[in-house]
Amino acid sequence: MLIRRLPCLESRLALGWGLLWWFGTWAREIDRFAPHPERLALLLALAAASSVAAYHAGRRLHWVELTRVYLGLLACMLAGAAWSFAEFHSHPSVHGGVFAWPLAFASHYWLLRRDEDGPLARLHDWLHIGLLLLLIGLCSWEAAWWTGHWVRGSGVWSLVVLGAVPALFMSALCRGWNANVWPLRGRLRQSRRRVRRRLRESDRQDMGRPP
């Protein structure tokens, strides 16, 4: 049994070492040569571009583990948002974020679309939820900052925007829930599959019970 698992273990160890070398090297170069305010945007762009490249390389090399590198992109984005909030006390689009954040979101959604029927598609619901919450948080943060910047006062309007933006997102999501567009179409289809599977399992259990 151990001998059968050895090639898989070697593949994962090689992948782990390669990822540590790749991201560690680039992070070191960014830390040495990039101005401090732009480092976050460069690291986000690095994570997004590396995830796309790893997926393509994994498909061409038939290396399944390499195609799954993008599953860690959301964690990098969450860490980047926390870093931006703690370090700059400003808004997400500052210091190159206006380019880095759209690139990260576009890359992640594109990869989720490409791998929609993959073996780990069951995790995509959680990734979609995480991405949506992060997107709502960043948009609310950005809108509240600009509102406070334009409307000088006690900051009440910034608080209003912090509540209004998530409400608009939820309203749009509820209105378009049955729309035949991705990713809502994929989520609805998967939900129907799960319901049908549970119904079949329930029917089997009922048939196995004595009358």
Mean pLDDT of 145-155: 79
pLDDT exceeds cutoff 80 at 154: no
C-alpha dihedral, 180 to 182 to 185 to 191, nearest 10°: -170
What pLDDT is stored for residue 88 in this prediction? 75
- For residues 19 and 40, give the distance between their C-alpha atoms in angstroms, rounded to a whole number: 19
Mean pLDDT of 40-61: 95
What pLDDT is stored for residue 96 in this prediction? 92
pLDDT exceeds cutoff 50 at 185: yes
What pLDDT is stored for residue 1 in this prediction? 46
Note if the bond before 183 is cis, omega within 30 degrees: yes
What is the model's pTM? 0.81
Percent of the chain with pLDDT over 70: 82
What pLDDT is stored for residue 195 in this prediction? 59
